[in-house]
Amino acid sequence: MPSLLERVAAQKMPPLSASDHVAQMLKKAIVDGLLPAGELLRQDEIAAHFHVSKIPVREALKHLEAKGLVTFLRNRGAVVASLSPAEIEEYMEIRAMLEARAARISASRIGDAAIEQARRHFDDFDHAVDSGRWGELNWLFHSTLYAAAGRPILLGEIRSLYNKVERYVRALLSVTSEMPKTQHEHAAILDAFVRRDPDAAAELTRAHVLDAGASLVRYLDNHRNKGGNP
């Protein structure tokens, strides 16, 4: 007789619910910049577009609110969330602490297969021309290096912080010359993991995230002073 785990594993995974599908599509539109900060998200229009009722739309918007991508305003409804430079700076400071911790734990445990996988993500990032791929490949590079830490909750918190600022990072990389510096820092981080050096991996990761945060804040300050709305 099959065990309980075997019976569970044999079950088919349920398809995405309507609210999950709407949330995924709206998240992609926000991160890709198709829905800019401050954009009003009218539930009736979204429901008509996706051919669903307003109930899964409300659930999707609440899900995105929890991720920091949507804000509910009194007498207006849901809008695409906007982060101030100060908020982004704080998010990046928290990320720097968490990612340095993940790097420190993982560096001495990581296997050769994970190193090679991270190297492939590094190479793919270097050759990608689509800004939508940059965010995905950046996450894959870092998360592959952190996985050996065996800290899924820590990795989940880092992923949540990525979600909040990813659209701003994409905008920065697409209009500035930050890419070569980013890849230079990635190469140094990867080398620290190859050497299984926890101290170097942690410090290089921390400096990388803080440097990205400083560049992002400068970009946002300059952009908004010129009347832009990234």
State the average pLDDT for the chain.
Answer: 86
User: Half-sphere exposure of residue 71, counting CA atoms within 13 Å on the CB side?
Assistant: 13
Encoded tokens for 138: 């950046």
How far apart CA 54 and CA 45 sit, in angstroms, is 9
Predicted local confidence at residue 223, as pLDDT:
66
Q: Is pLDDT of 188 > 90?
A: yes
Pairing of strands 77-80, 70-73: antiparallel
pLDDT > 70 fraction of the chain, expressed in percent and rounded: 88
Q: Is pLDDT of 127 > 50?
A: yes
How far apart CA 199 and CA 214 sit, in angstroms, is 23
Mean pLDDT on 42-63:
92
Predicted local confidence at residue 171, as pLDDT:
75
Grade residue 184 by pLDDT with cuts at 50, 70 and 90.
very high
Every domain of the chain and the residues it spans: 13-80, 85-225
pLDDT digits (tens, 9 = 90+) for 32-49: 778 888 899 999 999 999
pLDDT digits (tens, 9 = 90+) for 197-210: 999 999 999 999 99
Out of 1.10.10.10, 3.40.640.10, 2.60.40.420, 1.20.120.530, which CATH number does the structure's domain 85-225 have? 1.20.120.530
Mean pLDDT on 85-111:
96
Amino acid making up residue 93: E
Q: Is pLDDT of 11 > 50?
A: no
CB 139 within 8 A of CB 230: no
Q: Is pLDDT of 165 > 90?
A: no
Grade residue 192 by pLDDT with cuts at 50, 70 and 90.
very high
Predicted local confidence at residue 13, as pLDDT:
38
Predicted local confidence at residue 42, as pLDDT:
92
> How buried is 116 (Cβ within 10 angstroms: 0-12 exposed, 13-18 middle, 19+ buried)?
exposed
CATH architecture entry for 13-80: Orthogonal Bundle (1.10)
Predicted local confidence at residue 177, as pLDDT:
67
Grade residue 5 by pLDDT with cuts at 50, 70 and 90.
very low
CB 172 within 8 A of CB 216: yes
pTM (two decimals): 0.78
